[in-house]
Amino acid sequence: MVVPTARSRCEDERITAFGMLLEAHAAVTSVVNRELEATAGMPITWFELLIRLSRSPEQRLRMSELAGQVGLSHSGLTRLVDRVIEAGFVQREACPDDRRGAFAVLTPAGGAALDSALDGHLESIDRHLVTPLGPEGLARLTDLLRTLRDASPTGASPSSACPTGPSPA
Amino acid sequence: MVVPTARSRCEDERITAFGMLLEAHAAVTSVVNRELEATAGMPITWFELLIRLSRSPEQRLRMSELAGQVGLSHSGLTRLVDRVIEAGFVQREACPDDRRGAFAVLTPAGGAALDSALDGHLESIDRHLVTPLGPEGLARLTDLLRTLRDASPTGASPSSACPTGPSPA
DNA sequence: GTGCAACCGTTGTACCTGCAACCACTCTAG
DNA sequence: CTAGAGTGGTTGCAGGTACAACGGTTGCAC
């Protein structure tokens, strides 16, 4: 019956797990982002935005839905879409059913940009995610992370659209 | 022997895995950060900074080492330390061996702040990381993430200091 | 149909971060 | 001792994000 000291509590496995999530994410994304920027001249946020649109019916998504999927605030998404529109990869379209709403729609140029970025990006992910983990580890990690995402109150609900893979099984 | 189309490649499990890393990280950290801010009035970056210091010998770390551990650039860490110093949780100290270098040292106030933040933070992590995964899932996740971090060219090398748990085994 | 709360998306503002340039210091070669 | 390259840390600057406040629209209660 030892009283936990601050020191001992700092070694808690929960703290470790959380810290690991931060570190692994920072390590992987910073490298992958750098490589994507080098090979495709496009930040990772753009890529994630474009791929969500490309996977959606009619290559379009409501702003709010998109914000949820890429994990940005509404205002953050507005600015991001502004920049991507400026590049010609996306265009805004009014929503006929709800005059408040707006769609972000993938343009042909956007589709082409995504396509040409894809190979390098896949290679990059291979290097920094697949190779270290192995195919089996990758599958387990994906599963665990999906559980986390779906358990979180934030973001897109598990049922909505296809937020990066609608769960296998 | 089907040629992979852009569409089919977008469904690639590697893309999914990477997207899941982004989503899970965003979902978990945003909630945990919000909660920590509410209960301890301290952003997650401060907490991570303080806990690294508290785990280090003499509660001090060189700026570069610290930058590596919290996954920030040198300039980013300089500013962060500036802010935390302003709050009185840390102080700078000259390095006697190398007059270029500087230490960040945890102050008693910093230790106290860390201590009082710890309980709420642990609870928060419990809710959003441990409960959804279960103890076994948590262990597996930690292991996989550690593998990722250590494989990455970025950040602290596995051997350095104790970057959130010096690997068991 | 009128009022009111809730919602969608944008804008003003402040904060945080990285990159590049910089200064101070150390180390090595000659 | 000195020159020059390399390292540790800080500063100027630009870019990206969140929070709060706003205008426009919808849906519900009455």
* pLDDT 10s digits, B32-70: 999 999 999 999 999 999 999 999 999 999 999 999 999
| Local confidence band at B152 (pLDDT 50, 70, 90 cut-offs) | confident
| Local confidence band at B161 (pLDDT 50, 70, 90 cut-offs) | very low
Least confident of A99-108, B9-18, B74-83, B126-135: B9-18
- What is the reported pLDDT for A8? 57
Could you tell me which chain A residue has the CA closest to the CA of B9?
A: A118
- What is the reported pLDDT for B94? 94
Residue of A46 and B151 predicted with greater confidence: A46
Residue of A5 and B53 predicted with greater confidence: B53
Give yes or no for residue A138 having a pLDDT over 50.
yes
Q: Where are the alpha helices (DSSP H) in A41-130?
A: 44-55, 63-70, 74-86, 108-125
Q: How many CB atoms lie within 10 A of CB B98?
A: 9
Give yes or no for residue A151 having a pLDDT over 70.
yes
Contacts of A132-137 with CB under 8 Å at 24 or more apart are: A132/B147, A132/B148, A132/B151, A133/B144, A133/B147, A133/B148, A137/B144, A137/B147
- What is the reported pLDDT for A1? 56
Average pLDDT over residues B88-109: 95
Give yes or no for residue A83 having a pLDDT over 90.
yes
- What is the reported pLDDT for A13? 85
Give yes or no for residue A154 having a pLDDT over 80.
no
DSSP, collapsed to helix, strand or coil, labels residue B144 as helix
Nearest Cα of chain B lies from the Cα of A98 at a distance, in angstroms, of 28
The H or E element containing residue B114 is: helix B108-125
Q: What value, to the nearest 5°, has the Cα angle with vertex B116 and ends B129 and B127?
A: 15
| Local confidence band at B8 (pLDDT 50, 70, 90 cut-offs) | low
| Distance in angstroms (rounded) separating the CA atoms of residues B69 and B76 | 13
- What is the reported pLDDT for B150? 85
What part of B 4-63 touches A (C-beta under 8 Å)? 6-7, 9-32, 44, 48, 51, 54-55
Give yes or no for residue A68 having a pLDDT over 50.
yes
- What is the reported pLDDT for A163? 38
Average pLDDT over residues A115-133: 93
| Distance in angstroms (rounded) separating the CA atoms of residues B156 and B169 | 19
Do residue B137 and residue A151 have CB atoms under 8 angstroms apart? no
- What is the reported pLDDT for B99? 93
| Distance in angstroms (rounded) separating the CA atoms of residues B71 and B65 | 10
Do residue A163 and residue B23 have CB atoms under 8 angstroms apart? yes
Residue of A111 and B7 predicted with greater confidence: A111
Q: Compute CA B30 distance to the chain's CA centroid, rounded to the nearest angstrom.
A: 14
Evaluate if the CB of A155 falls below 7 Å from strand D: no
Nearest to B19 by CA among A79, A155, A20, A89: A155
* CATH fit for domain A24-148, picks 1.20.1440.230, 3.40.50.720, 1.10.10.10, 1.25.40.10: 1.10.10.10
Give yes or no for residue A91 having a pLDDT over 70.
yes
Residue of B150 and B6 predicted with greater confidence: B150
* pLDDT tens string A18-57: 999 998 998 899 999 999 999 999 999 999 999 999 999 9
Nearest Cα of chain A lies from the Cα of B43 at a distance, in angstroms, of 14
> What residues contact residue A135 under an 8 Å CB cut-off, 6+ apart?
none
Mean pLDDT score of chain A, rounded to an integer? Answer: 86
The CATH architecture one would assign to domain B18-143 is Orthogonal Bundle (1.10)
Average pLDDT over residues A100-106: 96
Could you tell me which chain A residue has the CA closest to the CA of B146?
A: A20
